[in-house]
A = this chain, B = another copy of it.
């Protein structure tokens, strides 16, 4: 179920994130300095908590997207630094609030911030980072960028609320699922990528192309993430396997498995999701049912269709090594193991 590529080749798709990190390294140093600077506060708990999450080895994909989508068109401007930091702050704020909402106890292989610092602090420091994100955007001064990111922030929370309201509901449709992940995940990828051509003064068609690329890339990332929850090795993934299952999140592997479910399987899903009555062995049973119905393959195929659309979106961008990395990144998102 993975692409037949070997990981020894430094330029194959599975090293795309590493390649991007190397290509953006000098730029990212500036972004990291701004992130550290703007999470400071006279109130010691704020940098402690923010630093706990920000320093905990996130991939920083979203700020990398803002840098890359700028560098495709402008190799010198320092404007993406503040905005990439703002994008990472918005993402971090949503992670802090997500972990409170989902009652998660692990994030990136460590105890989650709400477990260590408490829900109260996580809510408030999330708010703080969100406010700081807007301060960074205001420093940049572009109303257009503020429009893109304030809209993204509103859509993200709509997606989270929608996800909450369909939780454990077995009649959730694939369309509803796509709407949720489009809002909670893909919209910030889209915004992060749209900022580049906006500040580089590119025409609307190019802005739209990068926004679309970001949207499709975000869809690939989230569908692959939802698949990993039923597949991955816990120590590799850095979060609890089966979290989505325990929380009753209606993700694509489950939705596909329900399409052709036997009456016994329907009873199983009803018990574990709608009746919230789960036993130790149920995750393994869920995995088996998903495999029997090839629901994992269907979810993978769905993600792959978004890879195709991501690549198509990039067609308006002139060929260059950075464009190749962004193309490969879509395959990386599809095939990553954590």
A binding-site residues for B, Cβ under 8 Å = 41-46, 93-94, 97, 100-101, 119-121, 123-128, 130-132, 134-135, 137-138, 141, 143, 146-147, 150-151, 153-154, 156-158, 160-162, 164-165
**Given A97-B124, A127-B97, A135–B154 Cβ distance below 8 Å?**
yes
Q: How many copies does the complex hold?
A: 2
Q: Whole-angstrom distance between the alpha carbons of A132 and B100 in the complex?
A: 21
Query: Are A45 and B165 in contact, CB atoms less than 8 angstroms apart?
Result: yes
Chain B residues with Cβ below 8 Å from A43 are 158, 161-162, 165
Partner of A46, one of B41, B121, B141, B158: B158
Contacts of A101 in B (CB 8 A): 119-120, 123-124
**Chain A binding site: helix, strand, loop or mixed by DSSP?**
helix
Contacts of A126 in B (CB 8 A): 127
Residues of B within 8 A of A157 (CB): 124-125, 127-128, 131
| Residues of B with C-beta under 8 A to A123 | 97, 100-101, 123
| Contact between chains at B164 and A120 (CB < 8 Å) | yes
Question: In the complex, what residues of B have CB within 8 A of residue A156's CB?
Answer: 127, 131
Residues in B neighbouring A134, C-beta threshold 8 A: 134, 146, 150, 153
- Shortest C-beta distance, A283 to chain B (Å), equals 23
Please name the residue on chain B nearest to A143 by beta carbon. B141
- Chain B residues with Cβ under 8 A from A146's Cβ? 134, 137-138, 146
Considering only CB atoms, which chain B residue lies closest to A97 in the complex?
Answer: B123
